[in-house]
Amino acid sequence: MKVLSVASEFYPLVKTGGLADVAGALPAALSALGVDMRTLLPGYPAVLAAIGDADEVARWPEGRLLATRDLLVFDAPHLYDRPGNPYLDATGRDWPDNAERFAALARVAARIGQGAVDGFVPDVIHAHDWQAALVPAYLRFTSDGRHRPGTVLTLHNLAFQGQFDAAVFDRLGLPAAAFTSDALEYYGDVGFLKAGILLADAVNTVSPTYAREILTPEGGMGMDAMLRWRGSAVSGIVNGIDTDVWNPSTDALLDRTYHIDSLDGRAANKRAVESRFGLPADDAPLLCMITRLTSQKGIDLVVQTLDAIVDAGARMVVLGTGEPAIEAGLRAGAERHPTRVAVRIGYDESLAHRMQGGCDAILVPSRFEPCGLTQLCGLRYGCVPVVTRVGGLADTVDQSTGVVIGDITAAGVLEAIGRLVELHRSSADWQAKQRAGMRSEVGWRASAAAYAALYRRVAAAD
């Protein structure tokens, strides 16, 4: 079975969030199941630098397609040769031509689906998020009897929908018939994700609970009626993490590696985290957050109640980037509590590993969470997750492996942290929870099998 995965991010080459981790981990997880997956990526500078001298396997007026064993890279400098973040310019605004940039990616994917690359004609195209969501539309409206693979669209976060002014439509290279309410047209605009939801053979999201939540008006972000209409075509498959990259017994980024049978190394790692954040050594529970600083993640609730969290006996280190007001709130909290709270504004993969390996708990108080990955890393590292009961958090953490927040409010977060501080006083109870977490299945084994089954279903239906 050949599958083309189409993504705008791919760990370790380009990453802004969990999508990169998932797209990066799926190929290896699936190869053991007989799925030959290659991933189509935009030719961002970092991607081109990583693939070096790759073969050109196709060329169109818009750009050329380069191939390595695992990757297909659409090299189109006018679209992708830009510094920094894949979606934003240096001032943090969306690139004005994002519709064209990612439509072009989807169009290339469709061409590959129609046989453009000798020796790799996919049975299925797996499109990730709005950036790849036009793949089913290009296949539907441009195939003219050519090979048409089955399609899967994965929704990593329904908050990002790829909605653009209708004027964009004329630049997409699709026939006028595609601008209707059963394809791209969405309240008079062009809707990329909307089109994918309606036209993909199967739509899945990244946890079973989120798959149910998005069918409701509260969780559907305007798309719930369409998703309900797709009925059994919508499913949830929980994400895993790469358990080789995230392995506390081999992680070279940790000061001390450790194992479920002996958590001793964590104490040295905790000292190392404290010193990196400029906090004094202390046995009080050290909580962390590793996150985009946006209201989705509930970080504003933490900012609101930081003083009370400190009063409750906890300490907190935060690594993240995002909304300026939240960054400022965290900085102010760190200034008020210089020995108890510290914040690092930035993106730092190595520090993220060290925090998971040394902090006592990781706080994930999300208002909604399609899957969430940091709680999975936390489980694997004995860094006890403190989570709200939403989306993938509800599917991956329970009372035996973590601490569950009752209400998604500042008071609810504080109440859960109070329980955590209490529990941390008993090292036997605390370690029992750590070990229960470390025993939970957070890898890709089961979910890769679920994706393989989904691919077989859509390939067979075609």
Task: List contacts with ligand ADP (CB under 6 A).
Answer: 17-18, 21, 157, 290-292, 319-321, 347-349, 352, 371-374
From the CB of 425, what's the least distance to ligand ADP, in Å?
28
Q: How far is the CB of 365 from ligand ADP (least distance, A)?
A: 13
Determine contact, residues 316/329, Cβ cutoff 8 Å. no
Cβ(386)–Cβ(405) under 8 Å?
Answer: yes
Smallest distance from ligand ADP to CB 16, Å: 7
Nearer to ligand ADP, 95 or 347 (CB): 347
- Kindly state the smallest distance separating residue 143's Cβ from ligand ADP, in Å: 33
Contact 258, 265 (CB under 8 A): yes
Q: Are strands 63-67 and 55-60 parallel, antiparallel or unpaired?
A: antiparallel
Strand positions, DSSP E, 189-243? 189-191, 202-205, 234-236
C-beta of 305 vs 396, nearer to ligand ADP: 396
In terms of CB distance, is 14 or 76 closer to ligand ADP? 14
Closer to ligand ADP by CB, 114 or 205: give it: 205
* Nearer to ligand ADP (CB atom), residue 5 or residue 291: 291
Pick between residue 5 and residue 114 the one whose CB is nearest to ligand ADP: 5
Residue among 320 and 365 whose Cβ is closer to ligand ADP: 320
Are the C-beta atoms of residues 166 and 191 closer than 8 Å to each other? no
| Contact by Cβ (8 Å): 21, 241 | yes
In whole angstroms, the minimum distance from the beta carbon of 370 to ligand ADP comes to 7
Token representation of residue 63: 């750009």
Residues 8/105, Cβ–Cβ less than 8 Å:
yes
Query: 257: how many CB neighbours lie within 10 A of its CB?
Result: 15
How many CB atoms are located within 10 Å of the residue 4 CB?
26
How far, in Å, CA of 247 to CA of 77, rounded? 38
CB closer to ligand ADP out of 18 and 265 = 18
Q: How far apart are CA 141 and CA 132, in angstroms?
A: 16
Q: Which CB sits closer to ligand ADP, 47 or 238?
A: 238
Residues belonging to the chain: 462
Shortest reach from residue 170's CB to ligand ADP, in Å: 33
Shortest distance, position 321 Cβ to ligand ADP, whole Å:
6
Q: Rounded to the nearest whole angstrom, what is the least distance from the CB of residue 70 to ligand ADP in the complex?
A: 20
Q: Which residue type is seen at 274?
A: E
- Report the residue number, 42 or 298, with the smaller CB distance to ligand ADP: 298
Nearest approach, Cβ of residue 320 and ligand ADP (Å) = 4
Nearer to ligand ADP, 7 or 168 (CB): 7
C-alpha angle 52/55/59, rounded to 5°? 115
Do the Cβ atoms of 255 and 268 come closer than 8 Å?
Answer: yes
The CA–CA distances, whole Å, from 450 to 96, 208, 263, 460 equal 37, 12, 33, 15
- Residue 440 half-sphere exposure, CB side, CA atoms within 13 Å? 27
φ/ψ bin of 2: left (φ > 0), alpha (ψ from -120 to 50), beta (otherwise)? beta
Kindly state the smallest distance separating residue 138's Cβ from ligand ADP, in Å. 26
Q: How far is the CB of 176 from ligand ADP (least distance, A)?
A: 36
d(Cα 450, Cα 444) in Å, to the nearest integer? 10
* 3 state SS of 241: coil
Q: What angle do CA 242, 246, 250 make, to 5 degrees?
A: 125
